[in-house]
Amino acid sequence: MTMKIAIVDDEPGFLSQIKHSVNTFCIEKHIPVQIELFETGYSLLFHIGPDVYYDVFLVDIELPDINGMEIAKAIRNNYSEAYIVFITSHTQYSLDAYELDVFRYIKKSNLLKKLPLALDDIWKEMSMGENDFYIIDTYMRQEKLYYKSILYVYKDGKNSVFVTTGGVSKVRKALGKVYEELGQDSFIIVDRSYLVDFAHVMKVVKNEIILRNGESITVSRPHIQEVKKEISNFWGRNI
């Protein structure tokens, strides 16, 4: 497993210092790492998207072109499970950071001491959950989808479309094949076109499944009783 890290800071000297600290830590811990550097917030925002994935974002919160909090919001919209670490010259914390699930604040004056500690904690969490995701791997892109973020998957022609808490991802693969590869007890094919994660089901009304995000999926009448039974069994085991 490789740790993929994006670093954004408008000071080239400090950007190099952060990169050096990351490389030093990863060499000491024998962690494969890929690092990309960005000198402006907008250059990072233009780069991120469904074809690019990062595990960790090290973000200078006081950038001249865009506020670090806005960058964090954009990151969360694209990567629901990524780790965001704010690097700052001040100790002022924002309540918005809690809503955005910011992993840690690090003062620039304490960078050499605190950054390796943060990276160590991140790596431990990543290692514990290293098998808890589905990989979309094509010649165009590689994308990691954490199981807990997948709401449902639906068939679109020859493609399977993943709807997650962070957005939508598509892979050219049959729905049945995706189901086999997921290999998780919490997923069920509710009809020939939909695969749903029970963990995100809030209720069942008549023959409709209501999901955590408010969406509903209609289940064919011949299958609804079987689906209700499976959902009830899942809730009984996990609630």
Q: Are residues 154 and 86 in the same domain?
A: no
Residue 90 has a pLDDT of 66
Residue 93 has a pLDDT of 54
Evaluate if residue 96 carries a pLDDT over 70.
Answer: no
Number of domains in the chain: 2
What pTM does this model have?
Answer: 0.61
Residue 88 has a pLDDT of 83
Q: Are residues 7 and 121 in the same domain?
A: yes
For residue 133, being part of any structural domain is answered with no
For residue 134, being part of any structural domain is answered with no
Q: Are residues 162 and 94 in the same domain?
A: no
| CA separation for the pair 21, 44 (Å, rounded) | 20
For residue 20, being part of any structural domain is answered with yes
For residue 139, being part of any structural domain is answered with no
Residue 238 has a pLDDT of 52
Q: Are residues 103 and 26 in the same domain?
A: yes
For residue 144, being part of any structural domain is answered with no
Q: Are residues 172 and 210 in the same domain?
A: yes
Q: Are residues 8 and 121 in the same domain?
A: yes
Evaluate if residue 143 carries a pLDDT over 50.
Answer: yes
| CA separation for the pair 189, 201 (Å, rounded) | 13
For residue 198, being part of any structural domain is answered with yes
Residue 131 has a pLDDT of 60
In 3-state terms, what secondary structure has residue 206?
coil
Q: Report the CATH number that the domain containing residue 186 is assigned in CATH.
A: 2.40.50.1020
Taken in order 157, 135, 56, 8, is the CA torsion positive or negative?
Answer: negative
Q: What Å distances lie between residue 185 and 174, 188, 215, CA to CA?
A: 19, 8, 22
Range of the structural domain that residue 33 is part of: 3-128
Residue 97 has a pLDDT of 57
